[in-house]
Amino acid sequence: MSGSSRAAGSMVRMLLASAAAVAGCTEVVTEYHRRPGFYKLASENDLESQFVAPDGTRVVFVEDGPLPSEQAATDARSAAREEAARRERARLRLEAWKDGRPIPPEAMEPEPAKAFQAREVADDGSVTYRAILPEHVIGNVMTCLRQQEYEALWSQVVCESSRRQWEAAGGSYEDFVAWCVKNRSELMMTLNRMSFGYYGGSDVVVDRLPDASVRVRFSPQLASQFKFREVLVVMDRQGMGLAGIR
């Protein structure tokens, strides 16, 4: 292992007992090293995620995240806070019960956290779209076009300011649907390629603008291959929304 690789972050040594310890096997020493994720993008060759050093040490790289010991410490602190909060809620409930008072809201157990869903279908068949990241917006537009859910695209995915601008220019909802239908194939090609390259490579560029909006665009080398080359995402009262595609 090169000196630069060893210098990329702190190192943690962990002793992991072999699953065959009962057979008398020796313990395996594992070293965890932090390695920035951009190393893979900058390297012309595939980088190994782990290897075995000549002395038998297993070296594992952790990219853009906490080392196992750091994550364990974070989890322990979080668990301690949650346990303290649980005990406090129990104490408040007991005091309220002894005093004959209603249980206060702060003493109630919280509802389990609900996993984020960009697209949620209710029992009655209605569809709700949400976005808290630019990639959610791109994915939602793709889904709406694929499912031909143009009303949801207009009312839930397109941001409020863009809807007002469209209507101020004389456009109607029916005009919007007609535009989507006419350009559906080209839009899907653009969005699919953007979602594919959003997290890596140089073909898709993500610009975070001073007004907190995000522009996702193709690099000059790729832009000429597409009719639509840029997506603008903004934050409004409903969350992240589509401001425009051009």
Chain segment 173-215, per-residue pLDDT in tens: 999 999 999 999 999 999 999 988 777 778 999 998 988 899 9
Chain segment 13-53, per-residue pLDDT in tens: 433 333 334 444 556 788 777 665 555 544 555 667 777 87
- The mean pLDDT of the chain is 81
In this prediction, residue 44 carries a pLDDT of: 53
| β-bridge pairing 28-35 and 58-63 | parallel
In this prediction, residue 57 carries a pLDDT of: 80
**Nearest residue to 93 via CA among 107, 109, 110, 111:** 107
Handedness of CA 148, 151, 156, 160 (dihedral sign): positive
**Nearest residue to 132 via CA among 236, 243, 245, 246:** 236
With respect to CATH, is domain 119-245 assigned 1.10.760? no
Enumerate the domain spans of the chain.
Answer: 3-65, 69-107, 119-245
By the 8 A CB rule, do 25 and 18 touch?
yes
In this prediction, residue 183 carries a pLDDT of: 97
Residue 146 has pLDDT above 80, yes or no: yes
- Residues contacting 37, CB < 8 A, separation 6+: 63, 64
Place of tokens 């808290």: 132
pTM of the model: 0.57
Q: Where are the alpha helices (DSSP H) in the chain?
A: 3-6, 38-42, 68-99, 134-147, 150-152, 160-168, 173-197, 220-223
Q: Which tokens hold the place of 186?
A: 């080209």
- Residues contacting 47, CB < 8 A, separation 6+: 35, 39, 40, 61
